[in-house]
Structure 1
Amino acid sequence: MPSTENDRLLSEHQPNAVRARLAGPVKASTLPDAVLGGIDGCVTTFAVVSGAFGAGFSPQVALVLGFANLIADGFSMAVSNYEAGQAQLNQIKFAERTEREHIRAVPEGEREEIRQLFQAKGFDGELLEQVVEAISRNPDVWVATMLREEYGLSGAGLSPRRAALTTFAAFLSVGALPLLPYAIPGLESQIQFLTSLGLAGVVFLGIGMLKSIVYGLPAMRSGLRTLIMGTAAAGLAFATGHFAQGLLGG
């Protein structure tokens, strides 16, 4: 590791720097919501385009269906993400109320839970008792510890509204790309579809690679995996549209 990187890490881990960083608010990453919205937006919109092309519909019909799907599905997905976040917050609030009631009703039993939780982490003897005493001295710390250690719950940085808005924005901006060729007049329907296919493929590959780069994972493998999943969804939509047209259209 270069010396400049070592110097930066040492500076960031000085007592004052650590204290300032830990005292700041916890911010949850919006990248998972953006990736989810972007991939789903591109998949569902291009699936509509593929289905319309497979059924032999006109480019105008594909464009109308695509935009209608883009708005409706994007909104639905954002609402679902918001409700999921709210459900998680409600679960945390319910668990917190339960733990506070237990602490009032059976404090020794709750101390025993703290004792066993930290004993499993390797604490023992006098040190273990000091840890139990320190945690149970402050009810807020006590409850927060039980939520994290017993329930595996944490609401740090959780924002259902931010998650919903991020999902909706990514869904619309990325999902609109496969529709662009259909908004260009004068192109043959086959050229429009192939151009839309190319844009969708670039989006799938790019989102998968970006996600992996951010998390320090193999970029090409993730990009190809996302590309394969998106292509499979589009292929299913195309086959379904083509089959339905043949079945119903004669």
Structure 2
Amino acid sequence: MFFRRKKSRVDIAREAFKDGNLELHKKAHEEKYIKEEPHKTEQGKYIGSAVYGASDGIVTTFAVVAGVVGAQLDPKIVLILGFANLFADGFSMAIGDYLSEKSERDYIESERQRELWEVEHFPDAERKEIEEIYKRKGIKGEKLNILVDIITSDKNLWVDTMMKEELGLMSDEDTSPLKSAVVTFLSFVIAGFMPLIAYVFASFVPFFVKHSFLSASIITSFTLFLVGALRQFITDVKWYLGGLEMLLVGGLSATVAFLIGYVLRTIFGIVV
């Protein structure tokens, strides 16, 4: 594994399933692992926001750079459009992330309150719903009665069961929409800055002056591969495949932007 992290019981079980390793599967189901309380680390909660923010940041910014170069505009325009895109798109994406997560959380909470109200005011009807849910799963007779009694004996468990089984909704109270938005913005800006490095430091590094776009392409390619490889944490795809996929997507986006810039310059005869 390219990126090291502590393996959870689920990680071990997945690895055992992929390899058909029965001994490893037994290890994943040892008592010490089963009793281990599942949790997310502070970093793990927001790895998805970080990776997707970085992916969008670097791809869109490099597309701007490629478009300007394709149109053969003044290199200074790269900085103007690049930074404008960096902060405007980063802010827009962060706001969208915040509103999306908050709206979803608010919706789930409103549904939970409705289910709680129904359990408190119409317990018999809600108990019948629980029975029907597990009847459809093939549980009948005394086993069904015992299971329903257990679930309906605890109001929180009762509501949680209705939320999941009836509505297919599960809340994640451990994550914060605001923190997720901040992570998205920062990762977008940091990764999106990579294609602009050569142009920002062109005054100090002679090589960047003569080979700005080449330098930007090399830096961007490396960053694209790195960000794509990091997707391993959230998609379980092999790191090198994730890296190559992201590199391909970024390269195609930049190529399209370059060609559009070139064609528009040719059609309109833009001279700078």
TM-score category, normalised to shorter length: 0.7 to 0.9
Determine helix, strand or coil for the equivalent of 2:164: helix
Q: Residue 100 of structure 2 is aligned with which of 72, 84, 92?
A: 84
CA distance in 2, matches of 1:81, 1:175: 17
Structure 1 window deviating more from structure 2 (203-212 vs 167-176): it is 203-212
Q: Residue 129 of structure 1 is aligned with which of 121, 124, 145?
A: 145
Match in the other structure for 2:75: 59
CA distance in 1, matches of 2:59, 2:40: 35
Residue 160 (str. 1) matches residue 180 (str. 2) = no
Q: Which runs of 4+ in 1 moved over 6 A?
A: 3-9, 24-28
Residue 118 (str. 1) matches residue 134 (str. 2) = yes
* Distance change (3 Å), C-alpha of 1:182 and 1:39: same
Contact 2:71 2:262 in 1 (8 A): yes
Q: Which amino acid aligns with 1:92?
A: I
User: How many aligned residue pairs are there?
Assistant: 244
Q: Residue 238 of structure 2 is aligned with which of 218, 223, 233?
A: 218
Determine helix, strand or coil for the equivalent of 1:176: helix
Match in the other structure for 1:236: 256
1:77-130 CA deviation, whole Å, 9 max, x = no partner?
A: 011000010111111022113223333443322212211222334432212112
CA distance in 2, matches of 1:245, 1:189: 23
Determine helix, strand or coil for the equivalent of 2:159: helix
* Unmatched 5+ stretches in structure 2: 1-20
Determine helix, strand or coil for the equivalent of 2:117: helix
Determine helix, strand or coil for the equivalent of 1:90: helix
CA distance in 1, matches of 2:97, 2:32: 35
* Distance change (3 Å), C-alpha of 1:83 and 1:48: same
CA distance in 2, matches of 1:243, 1:87: 42
Match in the other structure for 2:4: none
Q: CA deviation at 1:54?
A: 0.9
CA distance in 2, matches of 1:170, 1:176: 10
Q: Which amino acid aligns with 1:174?
A: A
* Distance change (3 Å), C-alpha of 1:13 and 1:248: same
Q: CA deviation at 1:44?
A: 0.7
TM-score with structure 2 setting the length:
0.79
Structure 1 window deviating more from structure 2 (190-199 vs 37-46): it is 190-199
Larger helix share, 1 or 2: 1
Contact 2:70 2:258 in 1 (8 A): yes
Match in the other structure for 1:108: 124
- The share of aligned pairs that are identical, in percent, is 31
CA distance in 2, matches of 1:36, 1:219: 15
CA distance in 2, matches of 1:25, 1:224: 28
* Distance change (3 Å), C-alpha of 1:173 and 1:62: same
Match in the other structure for 2:62: 46
* Distance change (3 Å), C-alpha of 1:26 and 1:197: closer
Q: Residue 139 of structure 1 is aligned with which of 123, 142, 155?
A: 155
Q: CA deviation at 1:52?
A: 0.8
CA distance in 2, matches of 1:122, 1:163: 40
Q: CA deviation at 1:29?
A: 2.5
Match in the other structure for 1:169: 186
* Distance change (3 Å), C-alpha of 1:98 and 1:230: same
Determine helix, strand or coil for the equivalent of 2:187: helix
CA distance in 2, matches of 1:200, 1:111: 58
Q: Residue 179 of structure 1 is aligned with which of 196, 217, 220?
A: 196
1:115-150 CA deviation, whole Å, 9 max, x = no partner?
A: 122233443221211221222222222112111222
Structure 1 window deviating more from structure 2 (208-217 vs 59-68): it is 208-217
Q: CA deviation at 1:193?
A: 0.7
Contact 1:85 1:158 in 2 (8 A): no
Q: CA deviation at 1:229?
A: 1.0
Q: Residue 99 of structure 1 is aligned with which of 91, 101, 115?
A: 115
